Amino acid sequence: MWQRHQRRIRNGKSCRVQPVSNKSLLEGTASTTVAFAPVSKKEARQPEMAIGVIEQPRLNQLLKHPLAIISYVPRELALFAAGAVAGAAAKTVTAPLDRIKLLMQVHGIQMVQEGSKRGIGFLEAILKVANEEGFKGFWKGNVPQVIRVIPYSAVQLFAYETYKKLLKGDREEISVVGRLTAGACAGMTSTLVTYPLDVLRLRLAVDPATKSMFQVAAMMFREEGVAAFWRGLGPSLLGIAPYIALNFCVFDLIKKSLPEDLKKRPEASFATALVSASFATAMCYPLDTVRRQMQMRGTPFNSVLDAIPGIIARDGLLGLYRGFVPNILKSLPNSSIRLTTFDAAKNIISASEIEFERLVQEEQKQLSGSQ
């Protein structure tokens, strides 16, 4: 990327550039081949060899067409930043529903500890938070969640694109199995990087006595040891791998099947993300409930094989889907915002590269016409 923005006249040599097509730019596979050759005195007399090849537009061109400026940012860095911002915004918007979902998910453990036999419903959980903690209570635990989701979302989306490129290899198109594998690996990679923050966020969200994630971290380290920060990692990996695999793969396949005039429209991306997130959530939610209950202090479960029959025996089959309604209300807009923003960012980056090349060609024509 940076080599592309250097002048192609250096050390008395001229360079020839292989043209880059718009299709290659949109697919992110464009490469520029530069061949340097000495300029002899005989060649210098020939106008076509004396004319330099421009590789970047002038400043006044960039000011008139600011979209092209984005192409100076490395593609990977731009995508990484877009994923981080999209994830943080989506989590903040849906934080109240996430708090309600967590309270409903872990209420089974609290019932055992408190000797209660009655579960907690959606409206009851809302009233509980409002009465005990006020309006701000719905965003309790959101700071560590946002801190977690910035690297989580950025790593996940960037890793998915990277794994797809690796699995695609020299083939023109990646297979469905390849997309599923890339999604699963991306989900596990991002979870491994940020898992301790997820545990802290859960403890902060469900314990009214805690005030900050630093207080929770210190208490966990003192009373439960380092292992507490990684408790429930197994079911987390088992849950996130199929969820991200299904979500991202279904999103890609539906977008691929859309007509060309719809593929770049944000509303099409949003609707596609809703469908893919709904399907993935319905398939993988029970493992998320198991993970949350294993993360709780005083949990009676030591493994996934313990937790699933234990939850069913205590709460019935529906116990595995406790908190599903607020979760689906939270995860659908959350996933849709993330994927739509990321998809839009990729389109903007591709359009920026095309605009940059157009300005370069325009400048080259002006230079050739003036000779």
pLDDT digits (tens, 9 = 90+) for 254-302: 988 988 888 878 888 888 988 998 888 888 888 888 877 887 777 788 7
With a CB cutoff of 8 Å and minimum separation 6, the contacts of 11 are: none
Residue 203 lies in a domain: yes
Judgement on whether residues 118 and 149 belong to the same structural domain of the protein? yes
Convert the pLDDT of each residue in 119-135 to its tens digit: 677 788 888 888 888 88
Q: Which of 112-116, 173-177, 213-217 has the lowest mean pLDDT?
A: 112-116
pLDDT in tens, 301-341: 878 788 888 888 888 888 888 888 877 877 788 788 888 87
- Dihedral (Cα; 223, 227, 228, 232), 10-degree rounding: -160
Mean pLDDT of the chain: 77
Number of domains into which the chain is organized:
2
Distance CA 120, CA 102 (A): 11
Query: CATH number of the domain that 339 lies in?
Result: 1.50.40.10
Task: Identify whether residues 13 and 77 lie together within a single domain.
Answer: no
What is the share, in percent, of the chain residues with pLDDT greater than 90? 9
The answer as to whether 363 is a domain residue is: no
Q: Is 106 found in the same domain as 31?
A: no
Question: Does 198 lie in the same domain as 50?
Answer: no
- pLDDT band at 108; cut points 50, 70, 90: low
Cα–Cα dist 248/160, whole Å: 8
Residue 112 burial (CB count, 10 A): 14
What are 47-83's pLDDT values in tens digits? 444 455 667 778 888 888 888 888 888 888 887 888 8
Residue 250's pLDDT band (cuts 50, 70, 90)? very high
**What is the CB neighbour count within 10 angstroms for residue 128?**
16
Does residue 30 sit in the same domain as residue 135? no
Predicted TM-score (pTM) above 0.85: no
Instruction: Give the structural domain span for 46.
Output: 1-55
